[in-house]
């Protein structure tokens, strides 16, 4: 009886010991830490694809500025450049003289060398270099034109006719003693206010400048330094534009 009770107790002790051992194994085994619910495990960094370079915008040329309309559109810089090819030495020598006399650029060369407006009808050249003998007269007229600009008497103008030899002068209907055969300029267009100031300048200072001035029916104005005088359509003083203005 005692032996049976002892065996029973020993069996219970073995079971209890096994249970304790199993509990220790479970409790003593380390576990991986559990991240808090709000934490996220970062993944590998994502590098955005490189953007293709944007080509620069094409350069847009500035809008073309229209050339001012010439009073004599036929005898412009293009025709002069063509004509100059066969007169290069004469033109270059003439321009060098103007530069030495400090009057280069007062009037563009292509305008200063325009011959008579009727050059086509007269079968003449559209441009002509004045003979050397009258270059001093060219200088004197340019000095006057420079003064008229400086005093703001003439604000804008274009030389449409300058030197012409005797044969071309006759064909173009010029007076036998026309100062164009020495040197003179016809200018256009001339605003009305400029014409009034020009006549005022002529009355006040024309004598000391030895200045001749006339206004043709076409509106062109003639300027020279061949004598203090004025005339109009009748080629007489009484028909002068400047005299008519003075009588108002």
The verdict on residue 50 lying in a domain is no
Give per-residue pLDDT as tens, 69-113: 788 889 999 999 999 999 999 999 999 999 999 999 999 999 999
Indicate which CATH number applies to the domain containing 125: 3.30.1380.10
The verdict on residue 98 lying in a domain is yes
The verdict on residue 25 lying in a domain is no
The residue segments making up the domain with residue 108 are: 77-246
The verdict on residue 102 lying in a domain is yes
Q: How far apart are CA 21 and CA 1, in angstroms?
A: 31
- Run of H or E residues at 4: helix 2-28
The verdict on residue 126 lying in a domain is yes
The verdict on residue 220 lying in a domain is yes
The verdict on residue 34 lying in a domain is no
Q: How far apart are CA 209 and CA 143, in angstroms?
A: 10
Q: How far apart are CA 123 and CA 163, in angstroms?
A: 16
In the prediction, which pLDDT does 21 show?
52
- Count the Cβ atoms, other than its own, within 10 Å of residue 110: 22
Contacts of 189 (CB under 8 A, 6+ apart): 71, 157, 158, 219
8 Å CB contact between 201 and 154 = no
Give per-residue pLDDT as tens, 5-63: 545 555 565 545 544 455 544 445 555 555 555 545 555 555 556 566 666 655 555 55
Q: How far apart are CA 163 and CA 134, in angstroms?
A: 9
Domain count, the chain: 1
The verdict on residue 65 lying in a domain is no
Return phi, psi of residue 216, to 5°.
-85, 160
Q: Which pTM does this prediction carry?
A: 0.72
Closest residue by Cα to residue 216 from 166, 171, 170, 172? 172
Token pair for residue 172? 């173009």
Share of the chain above pLDDT 70, in %: 71
């Amino acid at each position: 009886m005692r032996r049976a009770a002892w065996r029973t107790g020993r069996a219970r002790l073995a079971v209890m010991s096994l249970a304790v051992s199993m509990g220790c194994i479970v409790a003593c085994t380390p576990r991986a830490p559990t991240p808090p619910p709000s934490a996220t495990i970062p993944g590998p960094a994502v590098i955005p694809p490189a953007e293709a370079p944007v080509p620069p915008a094409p350069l847009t040329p500035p809008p073309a500025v229209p050339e001012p309309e010439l009073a004599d559109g036929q005898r412009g810089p293009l025709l002069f450049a063509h004509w100059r090819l066969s007169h290069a030495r004469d033109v270059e020598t003439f321009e060098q003289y103007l530069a030495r006399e400090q009057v280069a650029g007062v009037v563009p060369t292509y305008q200063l060398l325009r011959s008579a407006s009727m050059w086509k009808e007269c079968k003449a050249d559209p441009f002509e270099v004045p003979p050397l003998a009258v270059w001093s007269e060219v200088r004197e007229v340019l000095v006057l034109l420079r003064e008229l600009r400086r005093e703001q008497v003439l604000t804008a103008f274009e030389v449409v006719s300058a030197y012409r030899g005797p044969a071309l002068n006759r064909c173009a209907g010029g007076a036998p003693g026309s100062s164009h055969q020495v040197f003179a300029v016809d200018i256009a267009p001339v605003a009305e206010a400029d014409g009034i100031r020009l006549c005022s300048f002529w009355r006040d200072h024309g004598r000391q400048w030895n200045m001749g001035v006339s206004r043709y029916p076409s509106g062109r104005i003639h300027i020279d330094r061949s004598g203090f005088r004025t005339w109009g359509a009748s080629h007489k003083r009484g028909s002068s534009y400047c005299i008519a203005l003075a009588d108002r």
